Amino acid sequence: MSRLDDIPSSPGKFKMEKSSYLHRLRFQSSLTKFAFFSFFLLCLISLLFLRSPLSINPSSPSDPSRRSLRTNSYGGPAWEKRLRSSARIRTSTTNGITVLVTGAAGFVGTHVSAALKRRGDGVIGLDNFNDYYDPSLKRARQALLERSGIFIVEGDINDVELLRKLFKIVSFTHVMHLAAQAGVRYAMENPSSYVHSNIAGFVNLLEICKSVNPQPAIVWASSSSVYGLNTKVPFSEKDKTDQPASLYAATKKAGEEIAHTYNHIYGLSLTGLRFFTVYGPWGRPDMAYFFFTKDILKGKSISIFESANHGTVARDFTYIDDIVKGCLAALDTAEKSTGSGGKKRGPAQLRVFNLGNTSPVPVSDLVRILERQLKVKAKKNLIKMPRNGDVPFTHANISLAQRELGYKPTTDLQTGLKKFVRWYLSYYSGEKKAAAR
């Protein structure tokens, strides 16, 4: 029986005592909540301060957050000439756009940048080449893009002066914001890198965008991770996203709320894209399909997660070319921002879309496809899914993206993995040959 049940509900003295008791209880509860959120906010601010570029010891060999916070030297006539050349629209149509792609040396960023350039748009990349995974892969992507005439500026999205300079030299019509600290499990090792990049970095970019004139339209990468512990499938943009299962998911959810704020106050046109398990050539080595391939070829055992009661773990694997089509469609349908001089002049577009394949596949099936493509039998180790932020399944409802963007994924997992394996064998065999020379 609770303490409240001990208090009689009769009138007079007892009723007054009950009322007074309830008032004190509510006050104590409110005070506790206030203290908790104040403490949380103080910790967040302290974390941001301690991890800011100003707090880095220049003599230390590397920043513990694994972020390249100090921007390389930039500026000068030659540097500005490269910027303007890369940003030049080369299409004969009048619909060409000039795009700043953050995270351009990343997996999705490389493919989006190349697709924009192929159709004649102006593209400038920005990437800090951090060592979350092998930087040499990012450098290889950079070389690929530079052969297409795309200049990637080496710098951090938290570098205010660099961003100001870029926007001063080039009048960007659009920003494709893909720079982020990725990965669900790594957040348990290095949480501050997620706050620094996914929250502070995003705010810093939006601060610059709201101040320039004209303001660019912004398309940015959210994540299917925001659906967290939701059990209703398929996941719809109308579903609640208030149960993140990882810090990564929480930072992406925070990004969506921040986007709403800058849209509401400053008139920025913002479109968030919730990607569902993107895979393909030039992919990320921290993704299961990538390191499964590596370990199968090396004869190492691979760990396959099982959910509760030996349940199946499944993902809505989405091929990179389909994701790129969705990104370009979002850019092409993005309306102009409505602010100027940091002030909102009218209602601005605010959108969120799922970009998935709508066909969840068990991870065990992914492994079987890889075995066939690699012609090697995998050494499998079935283990219970750890409590590290992963979720048992993802499944995208893409009806909104189909209707508004014309988005229609066309690549099934078997076809996509065949293309990935072909690239993987070619890329890493070439790497071995180069090392042997």
Residue 361 lies in a domain: no
- Compute the distance between CA of residue 334 and CA of residue 91 in angstroms, rounded to an integer: 19
Q: Quick check: 24 pLDDT over 60?
A: no
Residue 18: C-alpha distances to residues 25, 29, 44 (Å): 10, 16, 39
Q: Quick check: 388 pLDDT over 90?
A: no
Residue 325 lies in a domain: yes
What confidence score (pLDDT) does residue 341 get? 82
Q: Which is more confidently placed, 392 or 118? A: 118
Residue 247 lies in a domain: yes
Residue 420 lies in a domain: no
Rounded average pLDDT over 331-340: 96
Residue 241 lies in a domain: yes
Tokens of 344: 């909102």
- Compute the distance between CA of residue 195 and CA of residue 248 in angstroms, rounded to an integer: 9
Tokens of 281: 């050539």
Q: Quick check: 26 pLDDT over 60?
A: no
Amino acid identity at 236: S
Residue 248 falls in the annotated catalytic set: yes
What confidence score (pLDDT) does residue 72 get? 55
The number of folded domains in the chain is 1
Q: What is the pLDDT of residues 124-181, one digit of tens each?
A: 999 999 999 999 999 999 999 999 999 999 999 999 999 999 999 999 999 999 999 9
Residue 55 lies in a domain: no
Q: What is the pLDDT of residues 172-226, one digit of tens each?
A: 999 999 999 998 888 889 999 999 999 999 999 999 999 999 999 999 999 999 9
Q: What is the pLDDT of residues 44-93, one digit of tens each?
A: 444 444 444 433 333 333 443 444 444 456 789 999 999 999 999 997 76
Category of 375 on φ-ψ map: left (φ > 0), alpha (ψ -120 to 50) or beta: left
The Cβ-side half-sphere exposure at 129, using a 13 Å CA radius, reads: 17
Rounded average pLDDT over 238-247: 94
What confidence score (pLDDT) does residue 389 get? 58
Range of the domain at 206: 180-276+318-356+395-411
* Mean of the per-residue pLDDT values of the chain: 85
Contact predicate 56/159, CB 8 Å: no
- Compute the distance between CA of residue 237 and CA of residue 241 in angstroms, rounded to an integer: 9
Q: How confident is the model at residue 16 (pLDDT cuts 50, 70, 90)?
A: very low
Q: Which of 186, 227, 248, 289 is catalytic?
A: 248
Within 10 A of 332 (CB to CB), how many other CB atoms are there? 13
What confidence score (pLDDT) does residue 367 get? 97
On the question of a cis peptide bond just before residue 234, with omega within 30 degrees of 0, the verdict is yes
Residue 84 lies in a domain: no
Residue 230 lies in a domain: yes
Reported for 378-381, long-range contacts at CB under 8 A and 24+ positions apart, including other chains, are: 378/292, 378/296, 378/302, 379/296, 379/299, 379/300, 379/301, 379/302, 380/301, 380/302, 380/304, 381/301, 381/302, 381/303, 381/304
What confidence score (pLDDT) does residue 391 get? 77
What confidence score (pLDDT) does residue 382 get? 85
Which CATH number does the domain housing residue 213 bear? 3.40.50.720
Q: Which is more confidently placed, 107 or 55? A: 107
Q: Quick check: 298 pLDDT over 60?
A: yes
What confidence score (pLDDT) does residue 431 get? 62
- Compute the distance between CA of residue 385 and CA of residue 397 in angstroms, rounded to an integer: 25
Q: Quick check: 345 pLDDT over 80?
A: yes
Percent of the chain with pLDDT over 70: 79
Q: Look up the pTM and report it.
A: 0.83
Beta bridge partners of 315: 361
Q: Quick check: 370 pLDDT over 90?
A: yes
